Amino acid sequence: MSLILIAEQSLNGLQFGLMLFLLAAGLTLVFGIMDMINLAHGSLYMLGAFLASTFVELTGSFTAGLLLALPATALLGMLLEMSLLRTLYARDHLAQVLATFALILIINELTRLVWGSDAALPMPGALSGPVDLLPGLPYPAYRLLIIAVGLVVAVLLFVLVTKTKVGMLVRAGASNREMALAMGVNIKLLFTLVFGAGAALCALAGALLAPLLAVQVGMGENILILAFVVIVIGGIGSVRGALVGALLVGVVDTIGRAFLPILFGAFFQPRVASAAGPAIASVAIYLLMAVVLYFRPQGLFPARG
């Protein structure tokens, strides 16, 4: 019984971690290459989910809706980059934080005007049931799909960044932008493309998580902060760091919420345990971040060297 619970929660952690990775990968490259802090990254996640809900409704197919939402969000992201964010690269972090904070407010209100406060994105019917992973270990099919997609995208991204020419340019930009510029890399174009790819990954995460969570205005903000924690732990600019950080955060958060209350119950009086367990569990990832940063202020895999 307890072993099954552990397996189930570990899979949940893996699933959550992989979705966090999709968000964090784009974010960490934007930080790494342009030294630009973009709070509006979560807004792209939200837009992706809303767009997917509309496209799924229009086409009647979950897959088609998802595949339409990705390029649409990427396009919006690139438009945003070319029209506004580009002017912020030369500014200090404070200006970037405030301008993109303003963008969150603006995009939230615009979304509310277009779609209303929330939208529906139902789970595809064929995947709504459980699958027996092992005899006696049922697991929701849809969550398995998320894990599979997340793993495939993670591997593709990893190969793209570490093995291809484009990936080499991206890594060059992340580790030393001036030097990459001097070597003739078209950073401007590269960055617009990276931004578009990051937006598409956001949309993928938003659309995949939408049937499990809710599609609503403001959904991007909480997960954005988790993505920050991920890239701070992993090291800014490092895709490998983002993957490790995302899995760490996903597993620690999920396992903590599931087992800390039980663990506390074994050692403390029920009254203390029921108060302290959830409290510690909800801040476990921040404690993890604090510990990592205390020993490695540059994160686990710093990209700049």
Q: Report the residue from 4, 7, 67, 103 that binds another protein according to the rule CB under 8 A.
A: 103
Which residue has tokens 């709070």? 39
Q: Which of 233, 197, 282, 213 is nearest to 23 (CA)?
A: 197
Tokens of 136: 């006696």
Q: Please state the closest distance from residue 228 (CB atom) to another protein, in A.
A: 4
Supply the DSSP string of 72-83, one letter for each residue. HHHHHHHHHHHH
Q: Which of 287, 268, 285 is nearest to 277 (CA)?
A: 268
C-beta of 208 vs 229, nearer to another protein? 229
Contact string 37-66 vs another protein (x = CB under 8 A):
x-----------------------------
Give the CB-side neighbour count of residue 302, counting CA atoms within 13 A: 9
C-beta of 58 vs 98, nearer to another protein? 98
Q: Please state the closest distance from residue 53 (CB atom) to another protein, in A.
A: 21
Q: Report the residue from 58, 63, 64, 93 that binds another protein according to the rule CB under 8 A.
A: 93
Answer yes or no whether residue 97 interacts with another protein by CB under 8 A: yes
Q: Report the residue from 228, 239, 244, 301 that binds another protein according to the rule CB under 8 A.
A: 228
Q: Do the Cβ atoms of 239 and 25 come closer than 8 Å?
A: yes
Q: Which of residues 104-163 bind another protein (CB under 8 A)?
A: 104-106, 108-110, 112-113
Q: Please state the closest distance from residue 248 (CB atom) to another protein, in A.
A: 14
Answer yes or no whether residue 79 interacts with another protein by CB under 8 A: no
* Amino acid sitting at position 254: T
Answer yes or no whether residue 262 interacts with another protein by CB under 8 A: no
State the Cα angle at 198 between 193 and 203, rounded to 5°. Answer: 125
Q: Which residues of 162-180 are buried (b: 16+ CB within 10 A; e: fewer)?
A: eeeeebebbbbbbbebeeb
Q: Do the Cβ atoms of 139 and 194 come closer than 8 Å?
A: no
Q: Please state the closest distance from residue 211 (CB atom) to another protein, in A.
A: 25
- Residues near another protein, by CB under 8 A: 31, 35, 37, 87, 91, 93-95, 97-99, 101-106, 108-110, 112-113, 221, 225, 228-229, 231-232, 236, 275, 278-279, 282-283, 286-287, 289-290, 293-294, 297-299
